[in-house]
Amino acid sequence: MTTISQPICLRRPSLEKWCLRRYLAQAIVGRVLARVPVRVVLPGGRAMGSDDPRLPEIEIVDEIAAFERLAHHPKIGLGEAYMAGEWRAAPGTDLVEVLQPFAERMTSAIPPSLLRMRGVVDRAIPRGHRNTLAGSRRNIEAHYDLSNDLFEAFLDPSLMYSSALFDDTTPWAEQSLEEAQYRKVGRVLDLARVGEGSRVLEIGTGWGALAIEAARRGAQVTTLTLSREQAALAQERIDAAGLTDRIDVRIEDYRESTGQYDAVVSVEMIEAVGEEYWPAYFATIDERLAPGGVAVIQAILMAHERYLATRRSYGWIQKHIFPGGLIPSEQAIEEVCAEHTSLRLTDSATFGQHYAHTLRRWRQRFDEQWPQIAGHGFDEEFRRKWEFYLAYCEAGFAAGYLDVAHLTLTR
């Protein structure tokens, strides 16, 4: 292992304080790498971490800029440095290969002495990200109204932007992603007991796939979204399927909904609700659910202790991908339901590795379709941002730091 020499700025006290800050950030990264099996190679060939060439390897392209970002904001700087092209996975190394070892050691990578400084580096979630009625619309528009063309380019024809469910009896790589997505939809509808004559409320329309499948079972569906782009395309797909009279697409906040339904379904919507509004979200489900009804939500989850440790902290995903977002724990959901509703969690089925594989498929497709995506006005920084986003999430699910579940709620 090559050691890092003391920078010139520390031998010349007259230089700016940022140089010292950057040097300290580099020293902290060195301590983290002592616990994580990843090599970091600096310009000129100097190495940080293990000298084992078999380990996944990060190449620092711009040493000064990359460590300055980390010094300024450790939780956001890593992703922003990747967006700026200041570091990359080395040739022959996939981006997930360098991110997954960190995800696997999320609770142990940082030495305890540095963890005690967490309050110094953590930043509060901006007040502007609160999911008020107006704030929710802004937050949803920031991601889902980017462009239907973008999502159509890398999603499968179902246009489901949530975890698929693969058949465990055959290799996942050999399966159609579209079939796996409809397998997921089928499970959600089965758990919610959706059939002929069911009145269904869907919170979070997406591009209409679940509503269409519910209507094909003979259900009458009301589906809610805050994305005008999604609503327009969902309506086109519903009309093309000949189900216009069975599905009512509304640009409406869940808190503004009315009526009673035999089933309430919501696929990966809770992550966009925000902790402050979880009571309102579950109370709404409770109010909309008819006697004897069933609610099913598909939720991304994390361990309760990790949720407690990160719930007030502002991260890269919240700044650049999902403003206002927060991933709950199953325990947090149970506690909110017990305190604010008559609903109780009666079944939970997790399938986190299926999400890792889904994300891998999306990222491969995104890369293949980049020339087409770029043609819609997206630049190179956007490409790196989404590449990091998809790989970052894949690493989280592959490592088990994140999970996803079908949660069944009844009274």
The whole-number average pLDDT for the span 40-60 is 92
- The rounded mean pLDDT for the chain is 91
Whether the per-residue pLDDT at 12 is higher than 90: the answer is no
pLDDT the model gives residue 154: 98
- Is the CB of residue 259 less than 8 Å from the CB of residue 201? yes
Is residue 80's pLDDT more than 90?
yes
Residue 137: the pLDDT is 85
Q: Dihedral, CA atoms, 385, 387, 391, 394, nearest 10 degrees?
A: 100
**Residue-level pLDDT at 123:** 65
State pTM to two decimals.
0.91
Distance CA 399, CA 79 (A): 18
Task: Give the mean model confidence (pLDDT) for residues 143-158.
Answer: 94
Inform me whether the pLDDT recorded for 2 exceeds 80. Answer: no
Q: What is the pLDDT of residue 7?
A: 45
Q: Strand 220-225 relative to strand 39-41: parallel, antiparallel, unpaired?
A: unpaired
Q: Mean pLDDT throughout 381-397?
A: 98
Report the pLDDT value the prediction gives residue 14, as an integer from 0 to 100.
41
- For residue 122, is pLDDT > 50? yes
Give the Cα separation of 208 and 211 in Å (integer): 5
Q: Indicate the CATH number for domain 128-410.
A: 3.40.50.150
- Indicate the domain borders of the chain: 8-121, 128-410
pLDDT of residue 69: 92
